[in-house]
Structure 1
Amino acid sequence: MLMSRYETSNHLTPPRVANGRVADSASGDRFIASRSATDFDYAHHLLTETQRKTGDGESSCSPSKLAYRKIMAENLTGRSGDGNTRILHYTGKAPANSHGFQSHVRAVYTRVHSPMAKKTNRVIPHVPERVLDAPEVVDDFYLNILDWGVSNHLAVALGGAVYVWNASSGSTSQLPIPESEYSDTVASLAWDQNGQYLAVGKGNKHVELWNVEKMKRLRVMKSQNARVQCLAWNSHILASGSSSGSIHQHDVRIPDHHIATLNGHSQGVCGLKWSPNGKYLASGGNDNVVQIWKYDSTRQQEPHLTINQHLAAVKGLSWCPWQPSLLATGGGTADRHIRLININSGQCIKEVDTKSQISGLLWSDVHRELISSHGSPRNQLTIWKYPSLNRVCELEGHTGRTLAMSMSPDGDRVVSIGADETIRIWNCFEGAAVAAKKKAKKSIADTFTLKRNLIR
């Protein structure tokens, strides 16, 4: 049987016919309501719209509510009530700025940021990477018994013996010093700039030169009249400072090695450092004085600059690698201050109280930081940010005061020796070796480019 055109799937009865016209199917059956076909939201809208047009809605409101509606309408559409004068109008353009007006807000929010990655704080291990034994170490603040050479060999003086640790292979060897000389304490050590020769300052007033690869003593230089407490190389010139306060300069190439004597300290010299360009020698003494000596062909024997700002012995000395005229100095127990000195003006440009004795200072070229080694009360190593000298972190582990400190040739690590008879290696400047390799490659590339341009 065929379906009628009025039959649907929801079985509605035929619609009502009025005045010859079929009623709208949306209104449903005239006897049974169809909820599925009814739009209640639309029905509610029709009811409320009818009330609004007839005025029923307004008549039901209180006079105060009607007054509120009128005020709101005037504020939104204008006094005339014209809908075209709305305050919030989206179709029109913004009015033009007055002559010479500049929007600072627009400049801020339209700034183009560079694609440079954000700097992240590196993680500095607070425990040593390696701990080595140092039995019979001499607990003397004024000695310099540790040095790490460019050949990656670490030299350590323990009593009258000298040990050399190969950081690459981990092997250890001992200089063949006769046992009869063990009573003469080794007071200072210094590798030459090529890492081939080791200078050894002795308690018997002598300075010895050793070829470590061949394990052979090359010569003994006798000129000092007291214990040699510190040594510093400048190419073929070796400076030695003694407990008497005198500084001798030795030319190791010639038989008559003693070429100059620098007398500027009234007490023992415990710190010696040449500037990176080799033009200046800084010396620190137990007389609380720092002397700056200018090296030239005339062998000038008068100090270029005298610094009297410390209140204790000055052992910690370190030249800034990227600013040749800047020297960092550190005082002993009664002073405890790190000072940054401009040797051109003689002024202290920054200082900080470390609260403990300072036995050594070193710069990190890559991270632009300064590290200091300390004695009582915490025997720690502290890293400082340049130029603010804000404390970055502290490395603790020594149970006795630190006596000396040195940096690895790649700049990544720092080694410290303490009165607790331990040597601790800290990986506190990681990344310096990678940066140094990039810098070396860039230097080679620049040199190659220069030569190629010259050939053309």
Structure 2
Amino acid sequence: MRNSAGKRRHCPFTGPNDTHQVSYKRFRRRIIQRGRGQGPTASTPLTTGCQCVPSFEFNTVCQRLELDSPPRSREPAQRALQGNLQATPWVGGVSDCEAVTPHSTPCTVSAQGWPTTENAYEQRSVWRAAIQGHDNTQQAGSDKRRHSLRPFAVLEKVCSLQGKSAVKLGAPALLNDYYTNLLDCSCNGMIALALGSSVYIWNSETHALVGYLDLSPNPGQLYQQTQSISSLCWSRDGRALCIGTRQGQTQLWDVEHKQNMICLPSHLSVVRAFSWKQDLLSSGSILGCIHHLDPRAPTPLVGAAVQEEGICSLQWSPGDDWLASGSTDGLLHIWNNDIAGLTKSHQPITTMKQPSSVKAMGWCPWQRKMIATGGGWKDGELRIWDTQMGTCVTSVNTNSQICSLRWAEKKRYVVTGHGLPHHQVRTWEFPSLSLSSQLTGHSHRVLHLALNPECTQIFSAGADQCFHIWDL
């Protein structure tokens, strides 16, 4: 090689007397020697020392979705979370999901009939109990700030424009991502809320923080984006809580006994949504894969389906007759209940289209062929669909991004959580979709909604890292 002056240059990976091309072994040896005394060398032909596990970071679809909802740094908030709760190790091991196949996971059966993983693998998840009686109203300065960062700590009591009372609580480190599903209420009134790499359990009746499940590899470690939780869902009987992560892992927890029951076969991308059909668990990923899992079976994966678009919502109908999946491309697919077989040949029986992603979605509890969807910021339309005809029955323009949607069965309401411009929680009468109430209190978009079993309270979690309780 010659430089611009015509003089010969030495290749940095050859010796002074080398006139031929360097061999791969010599190239590799010199790269290693250089790496010991210097920083990492960019782009070498060296192979890594371990197998690369596919994750959401390598998928262009996921990268595009992350740009839609860029996460903010939450290391200080995460440290505050870990510092305000007392560590109580859970007894029993949890396997690393991506390293375990359905045939190799040793299982026993719990008292409730659910399988439980044994101690054959590295412990990765722990249960930590909350400190009771930790509040001190006389705190000042930095102590008050630390108190405000505690999960479910009461920040203030507010009153909406309609005179509805509301309580504002802290939800630090809540991920500001439109496509996540991080809040759910069980039939027993237990709230599960994911904050960073932990799921906090809060009793909506006693207003007491029970504890939290920590999915981080090491207790007290700094917040890591790849360890954050992307979805969760209670089982219909309130006994089990399933948790999905951005690494594609799925864990099933017995919260009452503080025990990880099983680590289910993983997706190769972000787990966006869950839905239960009796004891069958369905999960959907950002790559469009739907897994049907039976935790009681030796091989939990009993069925699968694939759609071309990424999944951002998933829900079985109240009678378990149909499964609805909402896509990032604005398609609402309806599948029948024949889920057996690991095949790509399964096709939806009906497909409906709206201009934006179908993230806010829910079946009507009392009219089982009807389903409601909410449009994103390019749309803002609340729609009621007849899934048998594949047509939109009625709709209303909310003039706002719809981030979340729930049905209040006993009130015959549709409840929606909104983004810009007003960040409200709204209730709509069914079937007219006339606006019943507007609940104002969040300062950023309302990402998640849940209702208590009696449908007397609405729970909302927003990008302002606040959790609200509204009297319905």
Please give the TM-score of this superposition, normalised by the length of structure 2: 0.62
Deviation of 1:163 (Å): 0.4
Distance 2:336 2:355 in 1: 24
* Structure 2 counterpart of 1:219, one-letter code: I
1:286 aligns with 2:323: no
Native 8 Å contact 2:161 2:438 kept in 1? no
Aligned residues: 304
Q: Following TM superposition, by how much is the alpha carbon of 1:367 offset from its aligned partner in structure 2, in angstroms?
A: 2.4
Take 2:163 and 2:448, find their aligned partners in 1: how far apart are those partners? 19
The percent identity for this pair of structures is 33
Larger RCO, structures 1/2 (Cα 8 Å, 6+ apart): 2
Alignment of 1:286-365 (within 5 A): 286-296=328-338, 298=340, 301-308=346-353, 310-365=354-409
Per-residue deviation, residues 311-369 of structure 1 (Å, max 9, x unmatched): 11111111111111111111111111111111111111101111111111222222222
Q: Superposition pairs for residues 395-414 of structure 1, below 5 Å? A: 395-414=439-458
SS of alignment partner, residue 143 of structure 1: coil
Residue identity opposite 2:318 in structure 1: P
Q: Work out whether residues 427 and 436 of structure 2, in 8 Å CA contact, stay in contact via their aligned partners in 1.
A: yes
Amino acid at match of 1:335: D
RMSD: 1.8
Name the aligned partner's letter for residue 281 of structure 1. Answer: L
Whether the 8 Å contact between 2:162 and 2:437 is mirrored in structure 1 is no
Q: Secondary structure at the match of 1:314?
A: coil
1:165 is aligned to 2:208:
no
**1:128 Cα shift?**
4.6
- Secondary structure at 1:232's aligned position in 2? strand
* Distance change in 2, residues 1:283/1:196 (3 Å): same
Quote the offset at 1:176 in angstroms: 4.2
Question: Does residue 133 in structure 1 map to residue 177 in structure 2?
Answer: no
User: Distance between the aligned counterparts of 1:379 and 1:136, measured in 2?
Assistant: 19
1:155–1:128 distance in 2 versus 1, CA, 3 Å? farther
CA shift for structure 1 position 278: 0.7
Cα displacement (A) at 1:373: 0.8
Query: Counterparts of 2:243 and 2:442 in 1: how far apart (Å)?
Result: 26
In 2: Cα distance, 1:389 partner to 1:256 partner: 45
In 1, the alpha carbon distance for the partners of 2:336 and 2:301 equals 17
Aligned partner of residue 377 in structure 1, secondary structure: coil
Contact map agreement 1:126 1:394 (CA 8 A) in 2 = no
5+ residue gaps, structure 2, are: 1-159
Q: Per the alignment, do residues 157 and 297 of structure 1 end up closer, same or farther by CA in structure 2, a change over 3 Å counting?
A: closer
Deviation at 1:179, TM superposition (A): 4.5
After TM superposition, give the deviation of residue 255 of structure 1 in Å.
Answer: 2.4
Q: 1-side partners of 2:284 and 2:438: how far apart?
A: 31
After TM superposition, give the deviation of residue 296 of structure 1 in Å. Answer: 2.8
In the alignment, the residues of structure 2 paired with residue 291 and residue 201 of structure 1 have an alpha-carbon distance, to the nearest angstrom, of 22
1:149 to 168, 186, 195: 186
SS at match of 1:175: strand
Asked if residue 232 in structure 1 is aligned to residue 270 in structure 2, the reply is no
Cα deviation, 1:33-84, whole Å, max 9, x if unaligned, reads xxxxxxxxxxxxxxxxxxxxxxxxxxxxxxxxxxxxxxxxxxxxxxxxxxxx
1:187 Cα deviation (Å)? 0.6
| Pair 177,336 (structure 1): closer, same or farther in 2 beyond 3 Å | same
Give 2:137's aligned residue.
none
- Report the alpha carbon displacement of residue 298 of structure 1 after superposing the two structures with TM: 4.7
Aligned mate of 1:203, from 246, 255, 266 = 246
Secondary structure of 2:410's partner?
A: coil
Greater Rg over alpha carbons, structure:
1
Inter-partner Cα distance in structure 1 for 2:424 and 2:305: 34
Higher helix share: 1
Distance 2:429 2:406 in 1: 12
Decide whether the 8 Å contact of 2:231 with 2:272 is kept in 1.
yes
**Partner amino acid for 1:283?**
S
Looking at structure 2, the residues matched to 387 and 124 of structure 1 have their Cα atoms a distance apart, in angstroms, of: 24
AA partner of residue 147 (structure 1) = D
Q: What are the within-5 Å matches in structure 2 for residues 54-203 of structure 1? A: 126-172=163-209, 173-180=211-218, 183=224, 184-203=227-246
Which AA in structure 2 matches 1:157? A
Contact 1:279 1:296 in 2 (8 A): no
- Supply the distance in 2 between the matched residues of 1:128 and 1:243 (Cα, whole angstroms): 38
Q: In the alignment, is the contact (CA less than 8 A) between 2:329 and 2:357 conserved in 1?
A: yes
Offset from partner CA, 1:195-240 (integer Å, 9 cap, x none): 0110001111111001101111111112311010111111111111
Q: Distance in 1 between matches of 2:271 and 2:340?
A: 25
- Is the contact between residue 176 and residue 215 of structure 1 (CA under 8 Å) also seen in structure 2? no
Name which of 300, 311, 316 aligns with 1:274: 316
Match of 2:400, as an amino acid? S
Letter in 1 for 2:348: P
Contact persistence 1:154–1:167 (CA under 8 A): yes
Tell me how far apart the structure 1 counterparts of residues 218 and 286 of structure 2 sit (CA, whole Å): 23
Shift of 1:169: 2.4
3-state SS of 1:409 partner: coil
Question: In the TM superposition, what whole-angstrom CA distance separates every residue of 1:8-33 from its partner, at most 9, and x where no partner exists?
Answer: xxxxxxxxxxxxxxxxxxxxxxxxxx
TM-score, normalization: structure 1?
Answer: 0.64
Instruction: Say which SS state the counterpart of residue 366 (structure 1) adopts.
Output: helix
- 1:171 offset after TM fit, Å? 2.0
